Structure 1
């Protein structure tokens, strides 16, 4: 009898301890409506090997460094990049370079920890947050947008269509710029403003929903609102909880426009003239994430790890969703791609906003990551794709020619 009483007491104590532990662990999350299942698990924030990745030899690194350095000097002669650049294989950084100034006025140098606006590479991160919520059964990939955003006026558009740019919507930059009755450009535009305008100003579709691919920033502005609706958090905080903090991306953030617009690195024209802020600079989801190459390497490692998304969902991410016209260029779920008849695939996303240019390349077959970010306009940022030929059979012009 005493043994049974002791067992019951021990069991009760164990329940109390476990419950207390779970309560403490979940305290911050429960307030925000995000469950543990929404958050990444085992996503390699310290860039440990994804599988049985061999350590790169000194001779391999030296050979690649020589060729990449030759490319760098030809692509950005006379230290003209004014940005940040990184190439890594198996999570090991082979080459990185930081040059120029985050702010030309006070000569603040760009370093490995300097956040730079990544422009439309933001879409890859926004898509990934949505995919994590899909993975956690909080969002359906083929669920109607109207299930989340009641004002949304296009009833046939789904989450998948937003991710793959097949909604048929017009760009908010166009319909808010051309008619003062739609929007007064003296006022800063927000994501909610875009939704309200589309719902009340009879903004027609550019083409019928689901009929063809048309790259459009409005898609990702709406995805950001869906993230907010589902998580009951601001987009900024949701991205922190779902992506940045779990992956150890300490120098990555969504711009707090009202408080920090004058504190972040500005952008410049090619002639180094600073580009000012305009009425579109508060919209997020399609842009407005600041990051570094090292943080984006952590992100890339996590995104391609086998435990980050369910295999079936990850396969859809890298499947072309725009096959109505024969060609090699395509778009998946938040990622651009080139699919050659040989079976070789190239996955990437570029960005351009004001003077910011960015390029994110993930060579899945070779486990290579290439990232270039600049805050001074230069199309050479996009030429980093040529470095792919140093690692695999990609039909681009040889990088160091």
Structure 2
């Protein structure tokens, strides 16, 4: 309403001052436009990181919607799906659906603006937060962590090695369960993880950059790096670097479990709520809540060289781990399948935490996005991989029921 009211008031004032003159509405609009553009950087659709995609034809949209809708009902939503499902091409939604409950006990239903715990899909947002800081020149990918967090005890580990899971750090859920390391009746925080690494002589699992092991500890430390570099909470850092510029209004970080009853809950398949325990307090590796529509906004921005430089995106969407043969690999905050016998690069990230099973697929060759978030402990969310080859030249990946 404010955006409409201002120009009307402005024009109204000019009309009043011009009532005894020959009034030219075209000149009024021109003057208003000149005044506005002096103070506001205008981009198409008022998006700061706008990317111009080719329009999709009605025929393509109709035919693809039929493929997607049939797939969704046959492979994912078999009558008891709770969550969000969305497929888009060139940033334009082709099909979306919302089912189930954010809070079953209160009968609060999931809709297109319900923030959902996206588990490890949140690593994409954490990773992009760090890459935005790199883009702004505030840190570098090959900068040592110890130069940012002075009490970090492993001198060989860099920002890049956290992002691509080649650091050698052990999983905090393992070492905190050892006798004498941590009281598991007390909620563990990101700062606690760093303090334990620096004071308990916890050994690395392998020499940094010698191999790949997926580990949540990497992204706990990355969240601390964002806080240290910006001097702000991770919630505020991600808000300023990503959420506000992209107008992701239904995305946030759960960084205080005092608020745990106010968020979308996680459920077993029998509708019983999942428990919370001492490992639920860390963020960056998880505890990011968003919606399918907000995730689409981020996906669109990741095509913009203004949001992340072309060079950074090239480093993000390439594999780093080739010690073992195979097509599976990991870039910077993104998983990938690199077809060995032709076909396009398949990039994605899955998530699992408690009953939250999630999938984000970004088929960049065809600018297609597939998103599935669910809080009902359904592994059917991962069947998004089976949709990709129906939409382009991507490897078929069978997901067992």
- State the alpha-carbon separation in 1 of the partners of residues 398 and 64 from structure 2: 13
- State the alpha-carbon separation in 2 of the partners of residues 208 and 44 from structure 1: 48
1:303-382 matches, within 5 Å, as 303-341=302-340, 342=342, 344-382=344-382
Distance 1:234 1:48, change over 3 A: closer
Counterpart of 2:394 in structure 1 is: 394
Displacement of 1:58 after TM fit? 2.4
Displacement of 1:46 after TM fit? 5.2
Q: Is residue 48–residue 246 contact of structure 2 (8 Å, CA) maintained in 1?
A: no
Counterpart of 2:210 in structure 1 is: 211
- State the alpha-carbon separation in 2 of the partners of residues 386 and 46 from structure 1: 32
Is the aligned partner of 1:130 residue 2:124? Answer: no
Counterpart of 1:15 in structure 2 is: none
Counterpart of 2:297 in structure 1 is: 298
Counterpart of 1:17 in structure 2 is: none
Q: Is residue 112–residue 292 contact of structure 1 (8 Å, CA) maintained in 2?
A: yes
Distance 1:47 1:89, change over 3 A: farther
Counterpart of 2:264 in structure 1 is: 265
2:219 is paired with a residue of what secondary structure? helix
Counterpart of 1:152 in structure 2 is: 152
Displacement of 1:395 after TM fit? 2.3
Runs of 4+ deviating beyond 4 Å? 41-49
- State the alpha-carbon separation in 2 of the partners of residues 54 and 334 from structure 1: 27
Displacement of 1:48 after TM fit? 8.9
Counterpart of 2:192 in structure 1 is: 193
- State the alpha-carbon separation in 2 of the partners of residues 354 and 252 from structure 1: 19
Displacement of 1:55 after TM fit? 2.4
Distance 1:44 1:383, change over 3 A: farther
Counterpart of 1:286 in structure 2 is: 285
1:197-276 matches, within 5 Å, as 197-276=196-275
Distance 1:346 1:47, change over 3 A: farther
Displacement of 1:220 after TM fit? 0.4
Displacement of 1:42 after TM fit? 6.6
Structure 2 unaligned spans of 5+: 1-38
Counterpart of 1:114 in structure 2 is: 114
Q: Is residue 300–residue 362 contact of structure 1 (8 Å, CA) maintained in 2?
A: yes
Displacement of 1:148 after TM fit? 1.0
Distance 1:76 1:314, change over 3 A: closer
Counterpart of 2:51 in structure 1 is: 50
1:138 is paired with a residue of what secondary structure? coil
Deviations along 1:56-99, whole A, 9 cap, x unmatched?
Answer: 22222221122212111112354221000000001110000001
- State the alpha-carbon separation in 1 of the partners of residues 46 and 156 from structure 2: 38
- State the alpha-carbon separation in 1 of the partners of residues 222 and 44 from structure 2: 23
Distance 1:119 1:238, change over 3 A: same
1:75 is paired with a residue of what secondary structure? helix
- State the alpha-carbon separation in 2 of the partners of residues 337 and 273 from structure 1: 34
Deviations along 1:245-284, whole A, 9 cap, x unmatched?
Answer: 1100000011142441110011011222110211111101
- State the alpha-carbon separation in 2 of the partners of residues 177 and 215 from structure 1: 19
Counterpart of 1:81 in structure 2 is: 81
Q: Is residue 343–residue 394 contact of structure 2 (8 Å, CA) maintained in 1?
A: no
2:278 is paired with a residue of what secondary structure? coil
1:246 is paired with a residue of what secondary structure? helix
Deviations along 1:179-228, whole A, 9 cap, x unmatched?
Answer: 2x100011000001001111111111111111100000000000000000
Is the aligned partner of 1:141 residue 2:146? Answer: no
- State the alpha-carbon separation in 1 of the partners of residues 193 and 225 from structure 2: 13
User: Superposition RMSD on alpha carbons, in Å?
Assistant: 2.1
Displacement of 1:49 after TM fit? 6.8
Q: Is residue 389–residue 398 contact of structure 1 (8 Å, CA) maintained in 2?
A: no
Structure 1 unaligned spans of 5+: 1-23, 26-40
TM-score, with length taken from structure 2: 0.86
Distance 1:163 1:312, change over 3 A: same
Counterpart of 1:175 in structure 2 is: 175
- State the alpha-carbon separation in 1 of the partners of residues 303 and 119 from structure 2: 22
Q: Is residue 358–residue 374 contact of structure 1 (8 Å, CA) maintained in 2?
A: yes
TM-score, with length taken from structure 1: 0.86
- Stretch moving more, 300-309 or 371-380: 300-309
Distance 1:217 1:93, change over 3 A: same
Deviations along 1:9-58, whole A, 9 cap, x unmatched?
Answer: xxxxxxxxxxxxxxx99xxxxxxxxxxxxxxx97977599723x332222
Distance 1:187 1:382, change over 3 A: same
Distance 1:47 1:355, change over 3 A: farther
